[in-house]
Structure 1
Amino acid sequence: KGKIKTIGLKVGIPIKVMLGPKEKDAESAFGRVGIPCQAEYKYDGFRIQIHKDEDKILLFTRNLENVTNQFPEIVEYVKKYVKGKSFILDSEAVGFSSKSGEYLPFQSISQRIRRKYDIEKMSKDFPVELNLFDIVYLDGKDLLKTEFIQRRRLLEKVVPEKKWSVVVAEQIITDKHDEAQKFYEKALDKAMEGVMFKKLDAPYKPGGRVGHMVKMKPVMESLDLIIVGAEWGEGKRASWLTSFTLACIDSNGGYLEIGKVGTGIKELEEEGVTFAELTKMLKPFIVTEKGKEVKIKPKIVIEVNYEEIQSSTTYNSGFALRFPRFIRLRDRLPEDISTLDFVKELSKSQKK
């Protein structure tokens, strides 16, 4: 159970992407991946797997959903700039402001993912830059077992960089804690999510958090939680769901409630993710309604931050978030959300 038979790569058929577990600092990251290793920006965007076979280009999410139509400019960038007759690339599409020339958080482009109309306008209003960080297939050759450092060199050969169109992820190769720390701080200054540390001789392992790469991002900053319930608003918000019940996941795959969030969600589209947008996304998943309260099938994952994790008898997780705040929608499968064990660890670390 849970094992997938590998039958070889086929361009046009998406594979599960490789994932990285979290480490708290450069020292523990070095311990996992060995040194020297590659430290690379962890972009705050949307994971996209790119398949090209001659003139046909397909784009897939980390959940293997085809989003080729939603990102016509990525298709154009790949056609125009990336060399090779056939390939499979791993990347992150990151929103940016054409006015300020700065990267924007994931939520700035989240509405593009599910949009089926006004696509041309959306691509102008919410442009993305493609940041490529791995290649697993090139011109008939399966590269899954090729060492990461060789795959990275190949990637650099096939991608001539075009800022704000397509670039190779920024990185350094290092064995020094202070150098890694400076790179991490620079990443956060540039609105990155953090840094990935990658083992130089590692293969690409589809679907696994196998420790070939690990991520380092601010601790206590956020949790990825799933929406399992909500309440209809009042007055001018009566047509919107406005308070959302959140859950983490336990070791048996069950969802345990941990709090409610309403703060951080906007009323106006230009300010970020709105109540209207979340309501539209959640409506198809409403299971039952009782008065103003609705129960929701666990499908939509969001990132929240908070001031503190408190022990609580109100929620069946045994914990409650103090002052939770919505940060963004997450491109995550329900089973990939924050675990109860992780919540317990964070709760303990607050007291240190």
Structure 2
Amino acid sequence: MLLNEVVEASAAVGATRSRKAKSAALAALLRRADALEVGPATAWLSGEPRQGRIGVGWRTLSGALPEPAAGPSLSVSQVDSLLTALARTSGAGSTRRRAELLGSLFGAATEPEQRFLARLLGGELRQGALEGVMLEAVAEAAAVPAPVVRRAFMLSGRLPDTAETALLRGVEGLEAVRLAVGRPLRPMLASPGSSLDTALESLGSEVTVEYKLDGARIQVHRSASSVRVWTRSLREITDAVPELLARVRALPCREVVLDGETLALDEEGRPRKFQDTMSRFGSGGSEEVLLSPFFFDLLHLDGTDLVDEPLSVRLDTLAGLLSAAPELTMPGVRRPSVEEAAQVLDSALSAGHEGVVVKALDAPYAAGRRGKAWQKVKPVHTLDLVVIGAEWGYGRRTGFLSNIHLGARDPEGGPPIMVGKTFKGMTDELLAWQTRQFPGLAVHDDGHVVELRPELVVEIAVDGAQRSVRYPGGVALRFARVLRYRPDKTPAEADDLPAVQALL
């Protein structure tokens, strides 16, 4: 298969808003791919190289490219091999070697292929918004049930691997995929709930109501004395959080997979700023800011997988494991009355946390936001949106990139859909940070508006939404204000347009 075929499929997907048409185009391509091409093609069309971040900067890619080739000749396997070589190039002489590899790759590419590769390597395609559509396409191409594909993807954590298994081994291969301690799972996520009463009404009395912390999601795997930790985006942070490793090593088990949140607390036990928690996950984090873990789910314990068990069973097992360390348990109440649920919400807010999560006790663990089995309830409407542009300020903000353009995730797999702008809530420190960071993401600057690659997620507080013809989604945010940036989230995890429309 030629790279040109992948580029044409990508263009076809981008040219339609029909989810069915997108899935059909992707499935047709996957059917034509051979065993070695399925994985790379799936990864590229999902927006990221199979090798992950290759370390090629946008400045390098936006420089002078070689003259494009007259016709397509690059195969998928050739490109994948070159990307593997790029990813492995490091040390003395690596800059020259990378330049040679990039020159070889782009010199053999046609103009459309060059544009596609530049967007792929530069991060412009790395939105993950096509993930759900790609899973449907994999199921269609392999003629297997979509739920079987989604479950295998959750357990493997890697979409290219799931596609290869589906196309090459079918249902039998997908059903053979098992949870593996030491390999992170795709996390189950909570959908926004409009109110506590509404969440309780929709889920009934068989629920648990737990604190929604102002922290970072973690997944912890232990095998004997080896403990590893991942974020919600499956980025490993093991080396940055030794205090979490020590707490899990002390538990009375040999193997375990825990799901929870972690955050930094002050001397009074109240949450510190979210940035203090996230600072621990960077290369320059200070271990003086200690993290406290709170676990709310148990997916595996000493040889027994629990993902298919109802939440009630998982919570019973978790309670037994943490009986000697109850401080590691996420605060909450099972089967509460309406009054008791309200008390949990009040207690969470009084302690400085965001709100609560209402969870159905009969629900198995399912990656992503599948249905409404988990619903998060916050007293202030908040949305996680993608920053797709910014405007140069004037007056006091002259010289700063200020008013940010906000995009909601397109549920059909397209680019983020603009739903508003805001500069409210920005401190001088944040303005300076934006002005330093945004140029590295810029794809166009007309002197007023800087268009950005959709990589940054920002949490926005809003008073609601209103119908509007000003923005493509037909909706506009009311009194939007910046709360914080969310480096723990990818654009694939941003709120989608229906979540904004639900505030109308």
* Range class of TM-score, shorter chain: 0.7 to 0.9
The 1:237–1:31 alpha-carbon spacing in structure 2 relative to 1, beyond 3 Å, is closer
TM normalised by structure 1 equals 0.83
Match of 1:296 in 2: 452
- 8 Å contact kept, 2:459–2:484: yes
Can you list the C-alpha shifts for 1:309-340, whole angstroms capped at 9, x where unaligned? Answer: 34444433334334421112233332332332
- Aligned pair partner of 1:4 in 126, 136, 150: 150
2:231 matches 1:71: no
Summarize the Cα distance change of 1:144–1:265 in structure 2 as closer, same or farther, 3 Å threshold: same
1:123 maps onto 2:268 in alignment: no
Quote the Cα distance in structure 1 between the aligned partners of 2:402 and 2:197.
Answer: 42
Bigger Rg over Cα: 2
Match of 1:211 among 372, 382, 391: 372
For residues 236 and 111 of structure 1, the distance between their equivalents in structure 2, rounded to whole angstroms, comes to 29
Q: Counterpart in 2 of 1:242? A: 402
Who is 1:338 aligned against?
495
Alignment-mate amino acid for residue 325 of structure 1: R
Does 1:45 pair with 2:215? yes
Question: What is the aligned counterpart of 1:265 among 415, 419, 426?
Answer: 426
Deviates more, 1:279-288 or 1:232-241: 232-241
Which of 388, 404, 420 does residue 228 from structure 1 map onto?
A: 388
Counting only pairs closer than 5 Å after superposition, residues 321-332 of structure 1 correspond to structure 2 as 321-330=477-486, 331-332=488-489
> Counterpart in 2 of 1:306?
462
Q: TM-score, with normalisation over the residues of structure 2?
A: 0.60
Identity of aligned residues (%): 31
319 and 13 in structure 1: CA distance in 2 versus 1, 3 angstrom threshold: same
Equivalent residue, structure 2, for 1:161: 325
Tell me, in whole angstroms, the C-alpha distance in 2 between the residues paired with 1:311 and 1:334: 24
Query: Does the residue aligned with 2:287 lie in a helix, a strand or coil?
Result: helix
How much has 1:27 moved relative to structure 2? 4.1
- Give the aligned length: 331
* 1:110 corresponds to which of 267, 275, 278: 278
Counterpart residue identity of residue 303, structure 2: G
Query: Partner letter of residue 76 of structure 1?
Result: A
Deviations 1:86-143 (A, max 9, x none): 2110010122223x43123534423333x212x3xx231x332111111101122111
Q: Distance in 2 between matches of 1:175 and 1:76?
A: 33
The reply to whether residue 149 of structure 1 matches residue 319 of structure 2 is no
Aligned residue for 2:169? none
Contact persistence 2:312–2:362 (CA under 8 A): yes
Residue 97 (1) aligns with residue 266 (2) = yes
CA RMSD of aligned residues (A): 2.7
Please give the alpha-carbon distance, in whole angstroms, between the structure 2 residues aligned to 1:97 and 1:207: 32
Deviation at 1:162, TM superposition (A): 7.1
Instruction: Give the SS at the match of 2:385.
Output: strand
Question: Residue 195 and residue 322 in structure 1: after superposition, are their counterparts in 2 closer, same or farther (change >3 A)?
Answer: closer
| 3-state SS, counterpart of residue 315 of structure 2 | helix
Contact 2:363 2:373 in 1 (8 A): yes
2:349 corresponds to 1:188? yes
| Cα distance in 2, alignment partners of residues 138 and 199 from structure 1 | 22
Instruction: Tell me which protein shows more strand as a share of its residues.
Output: 1
Task: Evaluate the alpha carbon distance shift between residue 149 and residue 345 of structure 1 in structure 2; reply closer, same or farther with a 3 A threshold.
Answer: closer
* 1:4-62 C-alpha deviation (Å, 9 max, x unpaired): 35211111111111122233334432344332321111112100001111222211111
Task: Evaluate the alpha carbon distance shift between residue 147 and residue 5 of structure 1 in structure 2; reply closer, same or farther with a 3 A threshold.
Answer: closer
Change (3 A) 1:213 1:345: closer
* Contact residue 105 and residue 191 of structure 1 kept, 8 A: no
Q: Residues 79-94 of structure 1: matches in 2 within 5 Å?
A: 79=249, 81-94=250-263
Following superposition of structure 1 onto structure 2, how do residues 6-21 of structure 1 map, counting pairs within 5 Å?
Answer: 6=152, 7-21=177-191
Q: Distance in 2 between matches of 1:282 and 1:83?
A: 47
Structure 1 gaps, min length 5: 269-273, 348-352
Runs of 5+ consecutive residues of structure 2 not aligned to the other structure = 1-133, 136-148, 153-176
RCO comparison, higher one (Cα < 8 Å, 6+): 1
User: Which aligned pairs between 1:246-257 and structure 2 lie closer than 5 A?
Assistant: 246-254=406-414, 255-257=416-418
**Partner SS, residue 12 of structure 1:** coil
Q: Is contact 1:33-1:213 (8 Å) kept?
A: no
Letter in 2 for 1:294: V
The correspondence for 1:137, drawn from 294, 300, 308, is 300
